[in-house]
Amino acid sequence: MFENLQDKLDRAFKVLKGQGSITEINVAETMKEIRKALLDADVNYKTAKSFTDEVKEKALGLNVLTAVSPGQLLTKVMNDELTALMGGEVTELDLKTNPTIILIAGLNGAGKTTFAGKLANHLKSKGKKPLLVAGDMYRPAAVDQLQILGEQIGVPVYANIASKDPVAIAMEGIAEGKKNHNNVIIIDTAGRLAIDEEMMNEIAAVKEHTKPHEILFVVDAMTGQDAVNTAKTFNERLDFTGVVLTKLDGDTRGGAALSIKSVVNKPIKFIGTGEKMEALDVFYPDRMASRILG
Ligand code: GDP
């Protein structure tokens, strides 16, 4: 997924190859190339600029202290800075409360319903007893889809196809979960094709009534800079607790992973790497940084 960015970074590093040490001039040149590579990978300008400024300063500062080659030094500094840019540490779900209520939000096609199933599967494998709530009542196919997924992974699904009231469905789902002693209740919600006031009002109302412990914003990594803008709008309205980047298995550019954290200041918690229920990974900033740098 990062071939593009990686090739460009390799080329940028070559500027330094064969040079004995990092100087103000050669590092500035390399940073210019790296900034270009980041912008091409959909990282937004502010993030790319502050990132390269930081790397430059650290590399120059470390230069006198170390005997490693400029390329190695820069790789190490970039790795550390990329990791920090994506949040540094793994951010776990807050599952302390029983039942934990998790709201899933995002645009249509982002992968919400698929992620809801994957998350239930993941939590079940950790010994939790999840319930899925089919809150995407505008898309009857989404209810069917969730029921099929639930059956596949052995997790119950609450649905009420007679209702068009997302708050009522969510509250009924929570009551059902409490009755059956489910300790995690995952509520899928209705998206739209694009940001839409009615959708935002609906999800905000569901949030207000269900008082979720986690609100996970699901976004398609392939949408690049749009992913960052959508994240910003959802966050302003919902103040979500984490991001799920889907479709990182495809031929996507890595910019979204890099900019989202710095733009909305919320951690990426999971990444989706395929359509199957097992294709879910906890997001490790350091692993992602290594993957980007190759
Ligand atoms: P929703 O409208 O947000 O609920 O999106 P869906 O869960 O229905 O997903 C839309 C499409 O994306 C479906 O065809 C999914 O199989 C697919 N999808 C979801 N997550 C991933 C992923 O991580 N990788 C890939 N390749 N496809 C995914």
Whether residue 106 has its Cβ less than 6 Å from ligand 1: yes
Q: 251 C-alpha to center of ligand 1: Å?
A: 15
Whether residue 114 has its Cβ less than 6 Å from ligand 1: yes
DSSP 8-state class, residue 190? -
Q: 78 C-alpha to center of ligand 1: Å?
A: 32
Which residue has tokens 């959909």? 42
Q: 246 C-alpha to center of ligand 1: Å?
A: 7
Atom of ligand 1 nearest to the CA of 280: 23
Residues whose CB is less than 8 angstroms from the CB of residue 4 and which lie 6 or more positions away in sequence, other chains included: 40, 41, 253
Task: List the one residue out of 291, 287, 289, 285 whose CA is nearest residue 88.
Answer: 285
Whether residue 144 has its Cβ less than 6 Å from ligand 1: no
Residues 86-109: b if buried by 16+ CB within 10 A, e if exposed = bbeeebebebeeebbbbbbbbbbe
Q: What is the reported pLDDT for 232?
A: 93
Per-residue pLDDT tens digits for 167-187: 999 999 999 999 999 999 999
Residues whose CB is less than 8 angstroms from the CB of residue 3 and which lie 6 or more positions away in sequence, other chains included: none
Q: 111 C-alpha to center of ligand 1: Å?
A: 4
DSSP 8-state class, residue 215? E
Neighbouring-strand partners of residue 187: 103, 133
Atom 20, ligand 1: which residue's CA is nearest?
A: 111
Side by side, the strands of the sheet bearing 184-189 are 157-158, 130-135, 184-189, 100-105, 214-220, 242-246, 268-272, 280-282
Whether residue 121 has its Cβ less than 6 Å from ligand 1: no
Tokens standing for residue 266: 């919320």
Point out the residues of the chain with pLDDT beneath 50: 1
DSSP 8-state class, residue 153? H
For the chain, the first-to-last Cα distance in angstroms comes to: 11
How far apart, in whole angstroms, are the C-alpha atoms of residue 58 and residue 177?
51
Atom of ligand 1 nearest to the CA of 114: 7
Which residue has tokens 């997302």? 166
Task: List the one residue out of 90, 123, 134 whose CA is nearest residue 242.
Answer: 90
Residues 196-227: b if buried by 16+ CB within 10 A, e if exposed = eeebbebbeebbeebebbbbbbbbbbbbbeeb
Q: Give pTM, 2 decimals.
A: 0.89
Atom 9, ligand 1: which residue's CA is nearest?
A: 111
Whether residue 109 has its Cβ less than 6 Å from ligand 1: yes
Q: What is the reported pLDDT for 1?
A: 45
Say whether 190 counts as a known binding-site residue: yes
Residues in the chain: 294
Q: What is the reported pLDDT for 74?
A: 80
User: Residues 121, 278: contact at Cβ < 8 Å?
Assistant: yes
